[in-house]
Structure 1
Amino acid sequence: MAPSLVLAGARVVLPTGIVNDGRVIVEGTRIAGAAPPDARVVDVSGHWLVPGFVDIHNHGGGGASFSGAVDEVLTAVRTHRLHGTTTLVASTVTDDMDFLVKQAGLLSELAEQGDLAGIHFEGPFISPCRKGAHSEDLLRDPDPAEVRKLIDAGRGKARMVTLATELPGGLDSVRLLADHGVIAAVGHTDATYEQTVEAIDAGATVATHLFNAMPALGHRSPGPVAALLEDERVTVELINDGTHLHPAALELAFRHAGARRVAFITDAMDAAGIGDGRYMLGPLEVEVAEGVARLVHGGSIAGSTLTLDRAFQRAVTVDGLPVEDVVAALSANPARLLGMDDRVGSLEPGKDADLVLLDDGFAVKGVMRQGEWVVAPQLP
């Protein structure tokens, strides 16, 4: 086994706050509480050390999709690891049930191997009124029997299902998901405020990309946004790419939900980490121009090209959020939501040695996953 490693001199973001001139000790695959005498000390002064990022909503990257074959899935995983995401849930898009069942089997095997943290099914149980970049011909009501089919196909690795809970079968499907320990997420929905409250009471605990693909907040019809923001049981996803949300909407979510109830996500598609061009999102063709992905037919925003390091950098340097709050939204909160906070999400002894080294401008300089450098820092 390689000697223990001490990363010393950085500003370390811990659950208790920021420690200046701090240090993190890595022993094997875990963070250790004390360093043995033969530990190798690496000076990382002038940098930030933060926990590895946790993305609970991601469709692909590096030119590859989580709806593809094994090599494509692993390409997407590697792409996001280079940007600091050390724990990743693979999201599918609306397709026919037979394909989704088959893909769930493939993704569950990769989750069993530790490449993925689980599966998120976004569709087909969503509203045609708020379909976004999902094929309307393949949408269906959330029949609990079909929801159960996807859960079973995930072989214990299904983490989340996004539903329009106002549709027939929606509330029963939420209860089914809750009973099986799978997150029910309200999204791509045309629900009223009252219907959303009912869904939360039935067991829904996540807002899929809050504000997007749902009715806007209104003074007479507050809709799902108000219900999801006000309830302490709900974690709200936010896509902080400068396109999906106005800065005031981001501030509203943080101010009202509080830093412990926000999870930054990418909702990334194939183009993340690659660039402009034409891509496929499920069965739909997407044009990416100046980093913004839109359907070729219809023009709806089609996921994002975001990586979580960019979300981090924007949140601090543009939105002016405290670093500790951003770290919570990128790591601790999604880890807790997934029930993985005993292993990931914070830099504490006994947890996986998943960490990101950032420079003063919050650009990635190093990424470590389970004690091994994915991006090795170039230090003097």
Structure 2
Amino acid sequence: MLAGARLVLPTGVVENGKIAVENGVITEIAAPVAPPDGAVPALDLTGFTVVPGFVDMHVHGGGGESYHSGSAEQVIKAAHTHLAHGTTTTVASTVTGEIDELCRQASMLSELVEDGVLAGIHFEGPFISINRCGAHKPDLLRDPDPAVVRKLIDASRGAARMVTLAPELEGGIESIRLLTERGVIAAIGHTDASYDKTLAGIEAGATVATHLFNAMPGLAHRAPGPIAALLEDERVTVELIGDGVHLHPAVVDLAFRGAGASRVALVTDAMDAAGFGDGDYMLGPLAVQVRDGVARLAEGGSIAGSTLTLDVAFKRAVSVNGLPLETVSRMLSLNPAQQLGLSDKLGSLEVGKRADLVVLDAQYDVVAVMREGRWAVGEDRLKDRVPVAN
């Protein structure tokens, strides 16, 4: 039993609330009441804020390791790095590579999905536009031939959650239909598509905008392009990288007003340096330099993912953009969980859902993280909290 904290619920913020957890599941959420004789004391979280565990549907690595690396140990280290920053549900994103290599990665990652370390696999590339490829190696890009897309999905053994592609490429619309039929999210990104072609992709089944604004044409008054199409359609969840580098705060505000609270998912798009520090790294086959927390390709200087963690994205959305706690929580947890088809199990503080919790202090820094009812991080920071009656 946890008591005394401010609880950020889907319906709003509850002060001095309590949460009961049994067998990894939330069994009660309420304001404290006088306990019966012999009641088990609760852990006093007075002064703290509790939010649901963060869900990152677009992240490439962290802690000095990547999800497209060669070993399960490296993947686990990356996932644990983000777990320490509040991300209790992670979809591992790959980068553009040879199809056979991506299939090998998918096979390895699928085992970690089965083990519960990861919630799925996101293929970002190689089915993207050479004109908007960003930190993806141009000579490895290819059109989204449905047969090749199917090969990747099959190699994932049911673990594929999302594929980012450019709908204007040959086979793009057909591949979106294939992914939709297979229960895999088709995401539009790294694209040079027109407004009309983007609409065609949405009609074919695409439901996610991969890091909206980044790696796509800007919004122009006579050529609205993909941004307008993705923002206006209620079927689409738009990813935003909330690190203050990829997007100006005013653009985040614009996207929020355009899409609304229920259609924005804050993501990290983080690479190896997240939670690790400046240095020289590899993003797939490309060399990356991280200086002052900003990752750029060593050759050309394009932004190469981020060093963001979702606790920082939470803090920026509250302190810089001035958004309400319940709105920010939704963008980091419930919205991505809904898009991933996991909201019946996680993504909000509700009875019957998995006990994935993040305890934040008054400055919204992470104090402790619970995953599936067990303290994964920070239990030692709470050991001196005086138990209170529940």
**Shared topology, TM-score over 0.5?**
yes
Give the whole-Å Cα distance in 2 for the aligned partners of 1:20 and 1:133: 44
Out of 358, 373, 376, the residue aligned to residue 374 of structure 1 is 376
1:13 maps onto 2:8 in alignment = yes
Partner of 1:243: 245
- Provide Cα deviations, 1:86-125, integer angstroms capped at 9, x if missing partner: 0000000000000000110000010011000000000000
Partner of 1:326: 328
**Residues of 2 paired with 1:39 and 1:15: CA distance?**
27
2:21 aligned with 1:26, yes or no? yes
Distance 2:215 2:162 in 1: 17
- TM-score normalised by length of structure 2: 0.95
**Which residue identity is paired with 1:203?**
G
Name the residue aligned to 2:171. Answer: 169
**1:303-335: CA deviation from partner (whole Å, max 9, x where unpaired):** 000000000001101111111110000000001
Number of residue-to-residue matches in the alignment: 375
Which of residues 289, 293, 304 is equivalent to 2:295? 293
Deviation per residue, 1:44-101 (Å, 9 max, x gap): 0111000000000000000000011111100000000000000000000000000000
1:90 aligns with 2:92: yes
Say which is worse superposed, 273-282 or 21-30, in terms of deviation.
Answer: 21-30
Q: Which residue of 1 aligns with 2:68?
A: 67
Q: CA deviation at 1:345?
A: 0.2
What's 2:56 paired with?
55
Secondary structure at the residue paired with 1:178?
A: helix
1:13-49 CA distance string (max 9 Å, x none): 1111110111111112111127996534011011100
- Partner Cα distance (2:41, 2:96) in 1: 49
TM-score (norm 1): 0.97
Residue number in structure 2 paired with 1:202? 204
Q: Alignment partner of 2:341: what SS? A: coil
Question: Which of 341, 362, 365 pairs up with 1:363?
Answer: 365
In the alignment, the residues of structure 2 paired with residue 67 and residue 240 of structure 1 have an alpha-carbon distance, to the nearest angstrom, of 23
Runs of 4+ in 1 over 4 A off after TM superposition: 34-38
- 2:388 matched residue in structure 1: none
Aligned to 1:128: 130
User: What's the offset of the Cα at 1:246?
Assistant: 0.6
The alignment partner of 1:303 has SS state of coil
Tell me the distance in 1 between the aligned counterparts of 2:315 and 2:20. Answer: 25
SS in 2 for 1:91: strand
Aligned equivalent of 1:3: none
Give the match for residue 283 of structure 1.
285
What is the CA–CA distance in structure 2 between the aligned matches of 1:151 and 1:96, rounded to whole Å?
A: 15
Answer with 38-47 or 67-76: which moved more: 38-47
Shift of 1:342: 1.0
- Partner amino acid for 1:327? S
Identical aligned pairs, as a percentage? 65
The residue that corresponds to 1:103 in the other structure is: 105
* Structure 2 counterpart of 1:51, one-letter code: P
CA distance in structure 2 between the aligned counterparts of 1:224 and 1:234, rounded to whole angstroms = 12
What is the DSSP-based 3-state SS (H/G/I as helix, E as strand, rest coil) of the residue aligned with 2:42?
Answer: strand
Q: Match for 1:246: what amino acid? A: H
Cα distance between partner residues in 2 of 1:21 and 1:306: 31
SS at match of 1:330: helix
Q: Secondary structure at the match of 1:253?
A: helix
Distance 2:260 2:321 in 1: 15
AA aligned opposite 1:215: P
Structure 2 stretches lacking a partner, 5+ long: 30-34, 386-390
State yes or no: 1:269 paired with 2:271.
yes
Distance 2:139 2:273 in 1: 25
SS of 2:26's equivalent in the other structure is: strand
- Which residue number in structure 1 is paired with residue 32 of structure 2? none
| Residue equivalent to 1:149 | 151
- Alignment partner of 2:233 out of 231, 234, 237: 231
Equivalent residue number for residue 351 of structure 2: 349
Q: Distance in 1 between matches of 2:19 and 2:129?
A: 47
The 1:40/1:155 distance shift into structure 2, 3 A limit, reads farther
The unaligned stretches of length 5 or more in structure 1 are: 1-5
Q: Distance in 2 between matches of 1:357 and 1:39?
A: 21
Deviation, 1:350, is 1.3
Instruction: Give distance in 2, aligned partners of 1:215 and 1:376.
Output: 43
Identify the match of residue 338 of structure 2 among 336, 339, 344. Answer: 336
* Alignment partners' CA distance in 2, 1:31 and 1:193: 44
How far apart are residue 158 of structure 1 and its match?
0.2
Separation (CA, whole Å) in 2 of partners of 1:102 and 1:360 = 44
What residue is the counterpart of 1:41 in the other structure? 42
**Secondary structure of the corresponding residue to residue 33 of structure 1:** strand
SS in 2 for 1:76: helix
